[in-house]
Amino acid sequence: MRIALLGYGKMGKVIEQIALDRGHEISFKIDVSNLTDREKISPENTDAVIEFSSPASAYENLKFCMSKGLKTVSGTTGWLEHRAEIESLCEANDATFFYASNYSVGVNLFFQLNKQLAKLMNGQPQYEITSSEIHHTEKLDSPSGTAITLAEGIMENNETKTSWVNQAIPKADEVPIWSLREGKVPGTHTIKYISDVDEIEIRHEAKSRQGFALGAVLAAEWVKNQKGVVGMDEMLGF
């Protein structure tokens, strides 16, 4: 299939190599140096778009893709205040919008484990909940989209938590997220339940960008035959 890359940084280059290794063709490679070429992308020359750009660029990129009715896989975080608008544009233009805060299959299994643990911990007020995320120093947004998804999973399944807070002492109904930026860390996420007598911890540590990139290409392959707003839960059958 023909895949266009919107965003051609380190992640885009890894996605490109995996796509080529799986027998796909790269129809366009767009970054800030050739942004005007984005206008050439259409359903006639591209089967799917993979959008891994920056928080500042994602909104305009996705508006373009939705207006053109393109099948689009997005992994950029830090722009989600516009998500409802992008999803409306998707429906209005018969496009396809696949968004995930993290494309690693392992992380998405971790999301499910996090929800189940949060549900089990209902009625156990002796445990304080805390979470942390560590990423490389080049990551622009904080907290990470993955950390937000984990916090939302807790909020959906634990009646004591209704919101999250970053880099601040939490109120009783808040899930705290502590964000660190260190070296070249691809991504480490930890959820802890701490009481006076014991501690329960679940943790996911990415070892490279390969898992994220493979997941994005798998999503592009899957989304070719999909319509509307979809995500990893649908693709993985959760």
Whether residue 38 is annotated as binding a ligand: the answer is yes
Is 76 labeled as ligand-binding?
Answer: yes
Residue 103 in marked binding region: yes
Residues 219/100, Cβ–Cβ less than 8 Å? yes
Please indicate if the annotation marks 22 as binding a ligand: no
57 marked as binding residue: no
Annotation says 204 is catalytic: no
Strand segments, DSSP code E, in the chain are 2-6, 25-30, 48-51, 71-74, 96-99, 128-135, 163-166, 174-181, 188-194, 199-205, 228-230
User: Is 188 annotated to bind ligand?
Assistant: no
Point out the catalytic residue in the list 13, 29, 82, 139: 139
Q: Which residues of 173-200 are buried (b: 16+ CB within 10 A; e: fewer)?
A: ebbbbebeeeeebbbbbbbebeeeeeee
Handedness of CA 179, 183, 186, 189 (dihedral sign): negative
Q: Is 203 annotated as a binding residue?
A: no
82 tagged catalytic: no
Q: Which of 135, 161, 189, 204 is catalytic?
A: 135
Active site residues: 135, 139
Q: Which residues are annotated as a binding site?
A: 37-38, 75-77, 100-103, 136, 145-146
Binding positions for NADP(+) are 38
Bind-site residues for NAD(+): 37, 75-77, 100-103
